[in-house]
Amino acid sequence: METVLDIHKILELLPHRYPFMLVDRVLEVKRGEKVVGLKNVTYNEHFFQGHFPGAPVMPGVLIVEAMAQTGGILGYLSCPERAPGSLIYFSAIDKVRFRRPVVPGDQLILELVLLGNRHGALKMRAQAFVEEQLAAEAEMMAVWGE
């Protein structure tokens, strides 16, 4: 897939910065519907120093955060009436399941589908894949900050 948004465009949308930026590229966007992002997982990630020495595995909470950041991109692109620089906050998560470990060398493909957008709240279905295998899934909500 070709890159739709590179890291420079992502940094214009999201407030996150190193070491907490967990989306490297956006591969597909359908405003108001869907986004597909990519996270390259490398051994140089700071969290692998302690999770786990000798057997590195990406922490599940960071997989969830990568999905949430990708969902934030969908939110910013789907709600152009929101002022640039406004914040969107992760507010709820349900039905989280981890299906396979994510390890250095993996490419995490993050797919989020917008299920609802009402009263400043976004509901999304999130899935993370490695080589077409489901690694994690969740339903998420986010709300716009003041």
**32, 75 contact by CB (below 8 A):** no
pLDDT of residue 68: 98
Q: Read off the DSSP letter of residue 36.
A: E
| Catalytic residue numbers, as ranges | 51
Residues 6 or more apart whose CB falls under 8 angstroms from that of 138 comprise: 64, 67, 93, 94, 95, 96, 97, 125, 126
Q: Could you tell me if residue 73 is inside a domain?
A: yes
Q: Does residue 26 fall inside a structural domain?
A: yes
CATH code at position 127: 3.10.129.10
Per-residue confidence (pLDDT) for residue 2, from 0 to 100: 73
Q: Does residue 2 belong to any structural domain of this protein?
A: no
Give a yes or no: residue 52 inside a domain.
yes
Domain that holds residue 110: 7-144
Q: Residues 105, 109, 111, CA angle at the centre, nearest 5°? A: 165
Report yes or no: 56 and 41 within 8 Å, Cβ to Cβ: no
Write out the chain's pLDDT in tens, 146 residues: 678 999 999 999 999 999 999 999 999 999 999 999 999 999 999 999 999 999 999 999 999 999 999 999 999 999 878 766 689 999 999 999 999 999 999 999 999 999 999 988 999 999 999 999 999 999 999 999 87
Q: What is the DSSP letter of 31?
A: T
pLDDT confidence of residue 84: 64
Provide the number of structural domains found in the chain: 1
Which amino acid appears at position 44 of this protein?
N
**Is 1 a member of any domain?**
no
**For residue 33, which amino acid is it?**
E
CA atoms within 13 A on the CB side of 143: 6
